[in-house]
Amino acid sequence: MTSVALLDLDGTLIDSADGVVAALRDGFVEAGLDAPDDAVLRTFIGPPVHDSVRRVGVPADLHDAVVAGYQRAFGERGNLMSHVFDGIPEALADLRAAGVRLVVATAKPYRFAVPVLEHLGLAPLVDGVVGAPDDESESKGGIIGRALASLPAGSRAVMVGDREHDVAGAAEHGLDCIGVLWGFGDREELEGAGAAALVGSPGDLVGTVLARLDR
């Protein structure tokens, strides 16, 4: 049986806040809107961007303009402003050494996910990447479903993520989700969503993933 960890990207493997917030600000301004404050813009990290645009009350006829401006700015400069969380490369290497297949399952569009993984040196440490389509309109459950479909029959998988959307998306497919506390969600959000376990540092991740896969 193949053991697999599905890994969220933003807030789990990398800290993308600076680039996302800067690009979102540009997207709002280009659409002729005042940008929300940075604390609100940080809540965009994780969910599909269209969902977040609706949530903050952008008029329906301006949704596409905000998203297009955001994606343009993110592609030009924001994507490569990310950095890897301390301890993540070591955790990924240890999981692979233990025989776990690692697949990134992210709401970031594939065309952004692959370059940032390569730029940050994480691409050699993972076995596959499943990202959102370019318009970022797919739910996390849909992304996880496509990731699962790419695996060998009979694989055993667990999701790792930092937001409630990771937990909910995993639950759609009967998977446990391990919530990480160094990202953009918090304990209350992850526990409320039903995370199977919480970890406070990348150093604790390996043992927790292996324990969940052995259940």
Helix and strand counts by DSSP (H, E) for the chain: 10, 8
Domain that holds residue 89: 3-15+83-213
Residue type, 173: H
Chosen domain end from 53, 81, 109? 81
The CA distance from 156 to 37, in Å, is: 41
CB 160 within 8 A of CB 177: yes
Residues with a known catalytic role = 8
- Same domain as 76, residue 123: no
pLDDT(135) > 70: no
- Same domain as 34, residue 8: no
- Same domain as 8, residue 25: no
CB 129 within 8 A of CB 114: yes
Percent of the chain with pLDDT over 90: 87
Chosen domain end from 81, 113, 129? 81
Beta strand 14-15 pairing with 83-84: antiparallel
pLDDT(136) > 70: no
- Same domain as 66, residue 96: no
**Tokens of residue 7, six digits:** 């890994």
pTM reported for the whole predicted model: 0.89
The CA distance from 72 to 91, in Å, is: 32
Q: Look at residue 78 in the predicted model and tell me its pLDDT.
A: 87
- ∠ at Cα 139 (134, 145), nearest 5°? 100
- Same domain as 102, residue 69: no
Percent of the chain with pLDDT over 70: 99
Q: Look at residue 215 in the predicted model and tell me its pLDDT.
A: 77
- Over residues 118-129, the mean pLDDT reads 97
- The tens digit of pLDDT for each residue in 161-199 reads 999 999 999 999 999 999 999 999 999 999 999 999 999
Q: Look at residue 130 in the predicted model and tell me its pLDDT.
A: 97
Domain of 154, CATH number, reads: 3.40.50.1000
- Same domain as 107, residue 200: yes
